[in-house]
Chain A
Amino acid sequence: MIDPGKAVKEPSEPPKGAVSGAKLVSAILFGLGFGFLLQKGGVGKYNVLLGQLLLQDFTVAKIMMTAIVVGMIGVFTLHHFGKANLHLQPTKIGPQTIGGLLFGAGFALIAYCPGTGAAALGQGSWDVLFGIAGLIAGSYLYAELSGWLKQTVEKWGDKGKVLLPDLLHIPRGAFVPGFALLLLAALFVMDRFAAR
């Protein structure tokens, strides 16, 4: 399989250990910014999140797709000039399909997701507390079964690190702008035809 990180240095450290110094400051500032933006975008609200899943309100899709377009261009530019590492997880068809489907079912019930739930808690939507209790319980349940899952389900369809451009045999430098245009077209359609 291809190694997308080969162009630049290896990731500097495993994501372990307590955080301190400049890293701690960055976690504080960027975390504050993330929660602030989510709340201002309205995605800490039950009706906006459920409205997306009922295909009535496209705020969530608009935010996600805009973030992807802007983020993709910047991160690939930084990566191209050796200023940033990519942080890619391996593509594992089995666990990612099953996990994604389970996540979605939960999404419809709780409405808040792990990130927007933080913004919901900050704005005082207390029903998120039930969801947070469930998220903690579900995480522990996963940990409880993790020994077995890693030997079974998580080995199904392990393809290693795969990028969309490599999968489609398109050079990365051509794929990024092309895909940005495609996402912008989808955003334009949503902006034109969706009520929100």
Chain B
Amino acid sequence: MKWLLPSLLLLPPTLAGAADFGVNATDYDGAAWSPYIVGAGIGLLSWLTFYFADKAIGASSFYATLAGFLGKLVARKHTESLKYFQTNPPRVDWGFVFVTCAILGGFIAAWTGGEIRNEWLHPMWVDRFGDSIALRGIIGFAGGVLMAFGARLAGGCTSGHGISGTLQLNAGSWLTVICMFISGIAAAMLLYTVL
């Protein structure tokens, strides 16, 4: 374990540039703000949520809450009988408001920065996989199902485990996020090699 973390952290830069995959993802003007400014900002935001709200930042439960609301509309009794919704009844709670406002925050940032995209397919996707919205839809939906199932099983996502859990040095969060990236890197490379 002592050597595992440092070596995993150094692995990606070692591999960088070694492979091609028929795309150049860095062919853009760069983000509006430096990743270090944004990262420090998110770190500071964590102090504030811990101090003022007694909460850790997380995102994935928002979608489970939505699933609960929709489930109750369609099949109320059945949804309420499920173990997860008994322990986590769908409510407009802190995390739900937080993510809803994150959508608005993303809009404000894009709007003020002249980065509103209003597009169904990203050019990098079109270059590699063509302009079928249906194909993107199938792949995106399947990805969402796997992602949410995995997040619930692991107890969090790239926010809840990947930022909040890791910054608290939670062993399980480091395990989860390392598994997420090992599998994500392997799957992305496979997707861009095979498809």
A141 contacts which chain B residues (CB < 8 A)?
A: 145, 148-149
**Chain A interface residue bracket vs B:** 35 or more
How far is it, in angstroms, between the C-alpha of A40 and the C-alpha of B176 when the chains are bound? Answer: 26
How far is it, in angstroms, between the C-alpha of A174 and the C-alpha of B99 when the chains are bound? Answer: 35
Chain B: which residue is nearest A107 at the CB level? B184
B136 contacts which chain A residues (CB < 8 A)?
A: 127, 130
Tell whether, in the assembled complex, residue A114 and residue B89 are in contact, meaning their CB atoms are under 8 Å apart: no
How far is it, in angstroms, between the C-alpha of A98 and the C-alpha of B141 when the chains are bound? Answer: 20
CB distance from A53 to the nearest CB of B (A): 3
A residues 99-141 in Cβ contact with B at 8 Å:
99-111, 113-128, 130-141
CB distance from A194 to the nearest CB of B (A): 5
Verify if A71 is at the interface (C-beta below 8 Å from B).
yes
B105 contacts which chain A residues (CB < 8 A)?
A: 31-39, 119, 122
Of the candidates A33, A58, A70, A103, the one whose C-beta lies within 8 Å of that of B183 is A103
B residues 159-195 in Cβ contact with A at 8 Å:
159-192
How far is it, in angstroms, between the C-alpha of A106 and the C-alpha of B152 when the chains are bound? Answer: 13
CB distance from A184 to the nearest CB of B (A): 11
CB distance from A35 to the nearest CB of B (A): 3
A115 contacts which chain B residues (CB < 8 A)?
A: 57, 59, 99, 102, 157-159
Chain B: which residue is nearest A95 at the CB level? B153
A137 contacts which chain B residues (CB < 8 A)?
A: 67, 141, 144-145, 148
CB distance from B8 to the nearest CB of A (A): 10
B133 contacts which chain A residues (CB < 8 A)?
A: 127
Tell whether, in the assembled complex, residue B109 and residue A58 are in contact, meaning their CB atoms are under 8 Å apart: no
A46 contacts which chain B residues (CB < 8 A)?
A: 122, 124-125
B43 contacts which chain A residues (CB < 8 A)?
A: 66-72, 74
Interface SS, B side: helix
A residues 176-190 in Cβ contact with B at 8 Å:
176, 179, 182-183, 186-187, 189-190
Chain B: which residue is nearest A183 at the CB level? B9
CB distance from A45 to the nearest CB of B (A): 7
B170 contacts which chain A residues (CB < 8 A)?
A: 88-89, 91, 161-164
CB distance from B165 to the nearest CB of A (A): 7
A103 with B83, Cβ < 8 A, contacts A134-B147, A142-B149, A190-B13 known: no
B182 contacts which chain A residues (CB < 8 A)?
A: 101, 104
B1 contacts which chain A residues (CB < 8 A)?
A: 167-168
CB distance from B75 to the nearest CB of A (A): 10
Of the candidates A56, A91, A103, A183, the one whose C-beta lies within 8 Å of that of B180 is A103
Tell whether, in the assembled complex, residue B163 and residue A31 are in contact, meaning their CB atoms are under 8 Å apart: no
Chain A: which residue is nearest B81 at the CB level? A147
How far is it, in angstroms, between the C-alpha of A136 and the C-alpha of B64 when the chains are bound? Answer: 6
Tell whether, in the assembled complex, residue A143 and residue B147 are in contact, meaning their CB atoms are under 8 Å apart: no
B55 contacts which chain A residues (CB < 8 A)?
A: 15, 26, 87
What residues of chain A have their CB less than 8 Å away from a CB belonging to chain B?
Answer: 11-13, 15-19, 22-24, 26-48, 50-51, 53-59, 61-72, 74-76, 78, 83-93, 95-111, 113-128, 130-144, 146-147, 149-150, 153-154, 159, 161-165, 167-168, 175-176, 179, 182-183, 186-187, 189-190, 193-196
14 additional A-B pairs beyond A75-B46, A137-B145, beta carbons within 8 Å, are A67-B40, A71-B47, A86-B168, A90-B172, A91-B172, A96-B154, A103-B146, A103-B154, A104-B180, A110-B143, A119-B102, A139-B60, A154-B153, A176-B169
* Interchain residue pairs with CB less than 8 A apart (29): A15-B94, A26-B53, A36-B105, A36-B106, A40-B32, A41-B33, A47-B27, A56-B24, A62-B39, A66-B40, A67-B40, A70-B39, A71-B43, A75-B47, A96-B161, A98-B154, A99-B150, A100-B154, A106-B143, A108-B185, A115-B158, A122-B103, A123-B110, A138-B144, A143-B64, A143-B68, A143-B79, A164-B171, A186-B13
